[in-house]
Amino acid sequence: MKKHNLIMTLALMVAALPLMAQTRQAQVVDKVVAVVGKNIILQSDVENQYIQQRLQGGATRTAHSMRCEILEDLLLQKLMLNQAEMDSITVSDDQVEAELDRRIQYFVEQMGSQEKMEEYFGKTVSEIKDEVRRAAKDNLLQEQVQAKIMENVAVTPSEVKAFFREMPQDSLPMIDATYEIVQIVKRPPVSLDEKLQVKDRLYQIRKRILDGESSFSTMAVLYSEDPGSNTKGGELGLTGKGVFATEFENTAFNLRDGEISDVIETEFGFHIIQLIERRDKMVNCRHILLTPKVTVEALEKAQLELDTVARLIRDGEMTFEEACLKYSDDDAKNNGGYLTHPVSGANSLSIAEMQQMEPYFPEFKNLPFVISRLAIGQVSDPVPMTTNEKKDAFRIVMVKRKIDAHQANLKDDYNLIQGWATNVKKQQAIAQWVREKAAKAYIRLDESFSDCNFYYDWNLK
């Protein structure tokens, strides 16, 4: 039911919030260990992050070197805050609140409910927000300064080539085998009769709840087809906007406490929703989901159609691209049917990447098994699949190109090497910026960190 969110910046909350649950532990005797302009860094700031890294298994270096790295990260953050003030960069209260909502929502999803999150941290949502509001605002200011540093960072093809030539040729990394895969997908439509029957069932469930025959949560356990919430009585937990389907959110955020919605339709099926409570800009709802099913006859028809399409391609009567454009129901048909990485957008995927994405993107399920049986250019028989919208479908696939496991090279891995070169150039841009700004800012370090081997030039006297 939820949209996929594969990329979230959570550094602030990951570093700060788990340590709230450790308030019963002995407190560190605090002192100022660094000053950057008007900003200070406390011993506790370093120690809290040090403890967190140890808890996450990050103790691969000496304790002192870890603390030095943490301090340098904090120095960089404070220098960016100092620059934000000098450049009069600001963020609004609404921006800060939206950032807090996103981060709180992450922890609610990870822990299963708002109540479990509050119990873990020993604080209410409002108290958690109050505790990290300033840090969230600082984080947004730092992001704006960093974006300004990076705005003109790019690498040219000649720079990519030069970067590759400078890499030690005897220690180039090994790259997994990758595949360029194209597919033609047939998504059998759900019949109008099936939709009407599902809506009617949901209206009957709604009527039984309103008539007092059973509670909403009981009916959700019995009938809802959302595996993520049905065992919890349909409860979804405290949620901000931008998580669920638009039609679902438009309804949920307009309900009154305890009110049950009319039947609504989303890409996942049909729902009724009950609002449990509203807190700030978040709501906690229950819902019951019923999903119209594609009939066996419709699936068999899709399979037969793809059988015919596969035969036309094999007999040379049309190319895969032509067949894809004419017959595929997939959004990628105008791009030759390429299966792309959902995050990077790359056309080449390794077996490991497909397996990693399988739990989040159903269209990758069983794909490694299918392509392992195909030669390059060979068209598969129709195979069943589940789309990312969790709908039953059939597809035929073809391996357009395979690049065997190999040491990195410019011909096969240009985009990857370009990314490495870009990251190095970004690091150089930050280093140059630190060198220039640190020379103009007041920076002082406690003697306990005077022997740190910092990466950046902090112009320390």
pLDDT digit string, tens, across residues 89-105: 999 888 888 888 778 87
**Chain centroid offset of residue 7 CA:** 3
Q: Within a 10 A sphere around the Cβ of 237, how many other Cβ atoms?
A: 22
d(Cα 304, Cα 317) in Å, to the nearest integer? 18
pLDDT tens for each residue of 292-343 = 988 999 999 999 999 999 999 999 999 999 999 999 999 899 989 999 988 8
Question: Confidence class of residue 128 from pLDDT cuts 50, 70 and 90?
Answer: confident
Average pLDDT, integer, range 230-240: 86
Equal CATH topology for 178-189+295-404 and 192-290: yes
Q: How many CA atoms lie within 13 A of 158 on its CB side?
A: 0
Pick the CATH number of 192-290 from 3.40.50.10490, 3.40.50.2300, 3.20.10.10, 3.10.50.40: 3.10.50.40
164 pLDDT more than 70: yes
Q: What is the pLDDT, as a whole number, of residue 59?
A: 56
User: Comparing C-alpha atoms, which of 15, 30, 154, 121 is closest to residue 74?
Assistant: 15
d(Cα 47, Cα 42) in Å, to the nearest integer? 9
Question: Where do the domains of the chain lie?
Answer: 11-155+422-449, 178-189+295-404, 192-290
User: Comparing C-alpha atoms, which of 241, 188, 245, 252 is closest to residue 382?
Assistant: 188
User: Comparing C-alpha atoms, which of 186, 183, 184 is closest to residue 391?
Assistant: 186
Q: Within a 10 A sphere around the Cβ of 332, how many other Cβ atoms?
A: 16
Average pLDDT, integer, range 358-365: 88
408 pLDDT more than 90: yes
Q: Which CATH architecture has domain 11-155+422-449?
A: Orthogonal Bundle (1.10)
Average pLDDT, integer, range 104-124: 77
Which is higher by pLDDT, 117 or 172? 172
Q: What is the pLDDT, as a whole number, of residue 170?
A: 87
pLDDT tens for each residue of 29-70 = 689 999 999 999 999 999 988 888 887 765 567 899 999 999
CATH number belonging to domain 178-189+295-404: 3.10.50.40
Q: Are 75 and 83 in contact (CB under 8 A)?
A: no
Question: Confidence class of residue 116 from pLDDT cuts 50, 70 and 90?
Answer: confident
Q: What is the pLDDT, as a whole number, of residue 29?
A: 61
